[in-house]
């Protein structure tokens, strides 16, 4: 059997009523003839929406096929034991030209009970934001279910939600149960559990070209919502130049930010997990025992668990999200 190597994938592009063009203009990804590309799924094992390998002898294979064949060698023994043949992380770019719906995602317990699927905990890092762009994350005022439903019925929901103006580099962690919505003028990278379950709460009374509004999930969302009010919803960090900065540590994924202008070596010998690099700025060459591979803005590369030592050679600089499971 040929040896595993760093894998690149062909993104899947999604037309969205609220989408725009920044995935092409700022990330350099060609989404073809779509008029409003809202999402690029850059690495996905979601059944029916799997990304395909684009390099090496495994070209054309779906992600979960590789997990099934290579098991722990690809994803790590503990990861394979926990998640089986489904790759556990989904990476996206999201470009919002209008407000996304106000929504919530179920946790693992609720998602498995209702849908036999994973819950959806996610995080965002803002890659570009128009002046004054904002998003919704969590509640600003303590309410119970009955009060919440009154605000929803009267279309005053924003009065009890926390809005925040964002800028490039801002990070938000959105555990399952937290109400949220991305506002217009934002391009972000999203790391999440492998799940496509969204409960739409309010869609700004939008209709499509046929005059139809999108389905709302008021009852399903009610039991999924966490009404806890936090003093802060943004994640704060201090960027470490030419090093690795911790962004998010959760039971579902760990995300770090690697900022490099000089060559960097990484040793994953103690880690029993795959590692994903998602390049959000610049470009670099990923060097490993048997060769090297180029990665540019908008591209991801999956480093198999059996590759312990890699080098990052910036060309001439790069910002990279590093994602794995502990």
DSSP class of residue 62 equals: B
Cβ-contact 194, 118 below 8 angstroms: yes
The whole-angstrom separation of Cα 8 and Cα 198 is: 28
Place of tokens 């996610």: 122
Tokens at residue 113, please? 């009970």
- DSSP letters of 256-273? EEEEESS-EEEE-TT--S
List the catalytic residue out of 14, 112, 114, 200.
Answer: 200
> 3-class DSSP state for residue 113?
helix
Residue 206 bears catalytic tag: no
Cβ-contact 38, 19 below 8 angstroms: yes
Q: 295 - beta bridge partners?
A: 284
Non-local (6+) Cβ contacts of 12 within 8 A are 40, 41, 44, 49, 51
Residues with a known catalytic role? 200
């Amino acid at each position: 059997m040929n040896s595993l190597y760093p894998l690149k994938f062909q993104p899947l592009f999604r037309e969205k009523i609220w989408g725009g063009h920044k995935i092409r203009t700022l990330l350099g990804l060609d989404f073809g003839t779509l008029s409003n590309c809202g999402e690029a799924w850059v690495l996905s094992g979601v059944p029916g929406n799997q990304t395909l390998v684009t390099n090496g002898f495994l070209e054309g294979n779906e992600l979960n096929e590789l997990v099934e064949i290579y098991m722990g060698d690809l994803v790590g023994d503990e990861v394979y034991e926990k998640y089986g043949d489904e790759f556990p992380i989904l990476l996206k770019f999201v470009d919002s030209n209008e407000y996304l719906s106000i929504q919530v995602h179920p946790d693992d317990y609720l998602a498995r009970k209702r849908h036999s699927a994973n819950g959806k905990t996610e995080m965002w890092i803002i890659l570009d934001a128009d002046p004054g762009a904002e998003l919704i994350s969590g509640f600003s005022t303590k309410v119970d279910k009955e009060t919440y439903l009154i605000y929803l019925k009267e279309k005053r929901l924003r009065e009890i939600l926390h809005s925040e103006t964002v800028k490039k580099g801002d990070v938000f962690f959105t555990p399952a149960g937290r109400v949220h919505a991305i506002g217009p003028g934002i391009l972000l990278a999203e790391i999440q559990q492998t799940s496509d379950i969204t409960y739409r709460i309010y869609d700004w009374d939008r209709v499509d070209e046929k005059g139809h509004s999108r389905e709302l999930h008021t009852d399903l969302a009610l039991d999924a919502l966490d009404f806890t009010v936090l003093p802060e919803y943004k994640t704060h960090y201090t960027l470490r130049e030419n090093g690795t900065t911790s962004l998010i540590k959760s039971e579902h994924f760990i995300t770090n930010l690697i900022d490099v202008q000089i060559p960097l070596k990484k040793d994953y010998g103690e880690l029993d997990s795959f590692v994903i690099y998602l390049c959000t700025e610049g470009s670099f060459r990923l060097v490993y025992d048997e060769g090297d591979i180029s990665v540019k803005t908008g591209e991801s590369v999956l480093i198999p668990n059996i590759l312990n030592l890699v080098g990052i050679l910036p060309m001439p600089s790069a910002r990279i999200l590093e994602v794995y499971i502990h």
